[in-house]
A = this chain, B = another copy of it.
Amino acid sequence: MRYGTLGSACAALIRRDLLLTWRRRGDALNPALFALMVVALFPLALGPEPNQLMQIAAGIVFVAILLASLLALDALFRSDYEDGTLEQIVLSPHPLPVLLACRIGAHWLTTAVPLILVAPLLAEMLHLPSTVMPVLMLALAIATPLLSLLGAVCVALTVGMRRSGMLLALLVLPLYVPVLIFAAGACNAAQAGLPFLAPLLLLGAGLALALVLVPLACAAALRISIS
């Protein structure tokens, strides 16, 4: 009789998620494609003057990435809920917050990392000055895990519902606001030649806090919503 260890459980979970992404690797590109399309909408809607676009480039890249990760959130627990796997995970003998942290981590790896990778392209499309690029990437590296974590709590709260897409957006966006302000603020400051470290440090502090608190909150929220 061998009961699984926590380590084996986390490994199994992450392995499964990566495998699933690999099996549907076509879909894995969707968030990045979506961000690309949203970014492409702006020159069309605003007119193509490079100077105007450059002014707003960083902000638009962030908004596009934020919307893309919002749409990707739906995949976090929904398929697990619909096929009954989530019930199995909740019933496992291991601490639920740790398992959920692994799940969120895998989700970040498979949806947010492609977004980060595509970000330079998006920025280039909007003529973002190349000096701002490193700040943009750094801000994204800190901001996207925070987005995944904050979103996860809301998804956990709505997972039992059908057709929660719009509602989820309404719950999540207010929570994303501070992340957006600090992340885009850092880039705008860098673009204006001002110091940009303070907002990034604040973001980092938020990330550290969220890493500890969110898995706990997520577990509590899930238990509420699948009951």
Residues on A close to B: CB < 8 A?
Answer: 27, 30-31, 33-34, 37-38, 40-42, 44-47, 52, 55-56, 58-60, 62-63, 66-67, 71-72, 74-75, 78-79, 82, 162-163, 165-167, 169-170, 173-174, 177, 180-181, 184, 188
Contacts and interface: CB of A to CB of B under 8 A. Distances in A.
| Residue of A59, A162, A166 with highest tally of chain B CB at under 10 A | A166
B30 A167 contact: yes
Contacts of A163: 74-75, 78-79
B41 A63 contact: yes
B46 A166 contact: no
Contact of A169 (B40, B71, B78, B173): B71
Contact of A45 (B31, B40, B52, B60): B60
A30 B169 CA distance: 9
Given A79-B163, A163-B74, A34 B177 contact: no
